[in-house]
Structure 1
Amino acid sequence: MFFPVSKLLGFFALPSNAVMVLGLVGLALMATRFARLGRGLAVASLVLLAVLGWSPLGNALMVPLEERFPPFRDDGRPIAGIVILGGATTPDVSAARGEVVLNEAAERMTAAAALALRHPEARVIHSGGDPGFLYGEGSESVPALRLLRELGLPDERLVGEDRSRNTVENALFTKAIARPKSGERWLLVTSAYHMPRAIGVFRRAGFAVEPYPVDWRTVGPADALRPFASIGDGLRRTDTAMREWVGLLVYWLTGKSSELFPAP
């Protein structure tokens, strides 16, 4: 039940979707006796799209998320395992084209592969099933494991967790596979903006992991005041950041996360 509800909430958590729905409602009302209200809603949606797309809002929302956990500093100590969260591969396109197709979060894969090559003692678990809701997209772990093999990691080190559809399931299903022992070091590789929510969920699941943030989208606090030249770029950044903030709140309220805004 949690999965479909989270997907529905996720749709409206994206400001671009919410504003577009507002505008369409306004257009529909313009043909009724509430035409004045409809015009107001339509104008408001247009203004909001401009603000969300051109203003620095997306960066201002993203910076605190990315600044929460600092970059990992490798001290050379042994690592028992590396958990890579899905979200970097496009499984349906990969299957159709016969090639591993990566998206904007590609560093989840490339940085994790480099880390694994530096630590040949570590097991590597990629966690990502089929995230599709209305239609299947295929397991993210299939192209992910193929890429890791092509980058030089041997099969005996790789494990694919292909059932999870969200971060909560990532933590639960990966812990069942890893069966971490006391004192072992496990690193969690995911996008920097997603790390706070992921760490909170893994802590709640009782899986102690060290954050290995990658896939930075901003240069830091200086970007909080930088507007966007393209409405599309600004909307994408605002949507990505707002989805995380809403996810943090919902996961905390439903007891899926250990804290509202997890910190190191």
Structure 2
Amino acid sequence: MFFFLSKILFFLTTPIVWIFGLLLWGILTKKDILKKRLLWASLICFYFFSNAFIADEFVRAYEDRSITYSDITKTYDVVIVLGGFSNFDSKQNLIQFHSATDRLMAGIKLYKTGKAKKIMISSGSGQLMNPNEKEALFIKSYLLDIGIPEKDLIIESESINTRENAVYSAKILNNEYKNGNYLLVTSAFHMPRAKSCFTKVGLSITPFSVDHQSGPRKFLFDHLFIPDSDSLRRWQMLIKEWIGFTTYKIMGYC
């Protein structure tokens, strides 16, 4: 039930839904004063959430800036890579990688460069319409195909959210690598919630953030003033994380 409710809440808290709702209400209302106010509100809302400079500032303030490759001076038992970066196209028999694929690439590099002895993929299916498409399983096949030995892979394919990533990963790791040291890899915007969840279940993790959505502060004309469609996506992502982190705190998950 929590999973379904979270998907509905995510939809309702998307800025573009607010903009569309205000615009539609403004078009349909017969009250002239209210119509004008609603249309102005939709325009202001659109400009605020599509402004790249404003989006950058909010995302930068929330993202986790953790260690870099050069900061790692020891070998960890396992690098834990959280999913949410791909889906499987059964018609083409191909994995479709998304923007957060930095998570997987970083995990592979940390393993290949000897920073971690093993790779763990933690991801079941986060899809309402396709619950049997378990990301960790088809990513396991991909890793085997590129030459990573099965003995160095740990697969957790039952989790459907960050809380379950932590709980199910802990069950596996506490059984096989009691009191181990782990690198946790996920997107920088997702890391505050993820590291809190993994710490809550008693795992000793070192966060390794990737897929940063904000860069250096820029004072260019287009960045400051011209609407940017990607900023709407980043706000959608950020608001989802704010709600997710707050909800997890209330429920005692992190």
CA displacement at 1:256 relative to structure 2: 1.5
Q: What residue in structure 2 maps to residue 262 of structure 1?
A: none
Matched, 1:177 2:172: yes
Structure having the higher strand fraction is 2
Question: Is contact 2:25–2:38 with CA below 8 Å preserved after alignment?
Answer: yes
SS of 1:122 mapped into structure 2: strand
Matched, 1:166 2:143: no
CA displacement at 1:43 relative to structure 2: 3.4
Q: Which runs of 5+ in 1 are unaligned?
A: 258-264
CA displacement, residues 126-181 of structure 1 (integer Å, 9 cap, x when unaligned): 11111112x11622223322332233211122132221111111111111122242
CA displacement, residues 202-252 of structure 1 (integer Å, 9 cap, x when unaligned): 1122222110111122224x2599447553111112222222222222222
The 3 A distance-change label for structure 1 pair 104 and 45 is same
Q: CA RMSD in A?
A: 2.5
Q: Which residue identity lines up with residue 245 of structure 2 in the other structure?
A: L
SS of 1:101 mapped into structure 2: strand
User: How far apart, in 2, do the equivalents of 1:44 and 1:192 lie?
Assistant: 32
User: How far apart, in 2, do the equivalents of 1:66 and 1:172 lie?
Assistant: 23
Which deviates further from its counterpart, 225-234 or 11-20? 225-234
SS of 1:153 mapped into structure 2: coil
Q: Which residue identity lines up with residue 110 of structure 2 in the other structure?
A: L
- Identify which of 208, 213, 217 aligns with 2:213: 217
Q: Which residue identity lines up with residue 141 of structure 1 in the other structure?
A: A
Q: Which residue identity lines up with residue 188 of structure 2 in the other structure?
A: A
User: How far apart, in 2, do the equivalents of 1:228 and 1:206 lie?
Assistant: 46
SS of 2:155 mapped into structure 1: strand
CA displacement at 1:58 relative to structure 2: 1.4
CA displacement at 1:72 relative to structure 2: 5.0
The 3 A distance-change label for structure 1 pair 121 and 234 is closer
- Paired residues in the alignment total 249
Q: Which residue identity lines up with residue 136 of structure 1 in the other structure?
A: N
The 3 A distance-change label for structure 1 pair 251 and 229 is same
**TM-score of the two chains, using structure 1 as the length reference:** 0.83
The 3 A distance-change label for structure 1 pair 123 and 208 is same
SS of 1:234 mapped into structure 2: helix
CA displacement, residues 99-142 of structure 1 (integer Å, 9 cap, x when unaligned): 22111111111111111112386222111111112x11622223
SS of 1:97 mapped into structure 2: coil
User: How far apart, in 1, do the equivalents of 2:31 and 2:117 lie?
Assistant: 63
User: How far apart, in 2, do the equivalents of 1:168 and 1:224 lie?
Assistant: 38
The 3 A distance-change label for structure 1 pair 76 and 228 is farther
Question: Is contact 1:60–1:224 with CA below 8 Å preserved after alignment?
Answer: no
Question: Is contact 2:136–2:155 with CA below 8 Å preserved after alignment?
Answer: yes
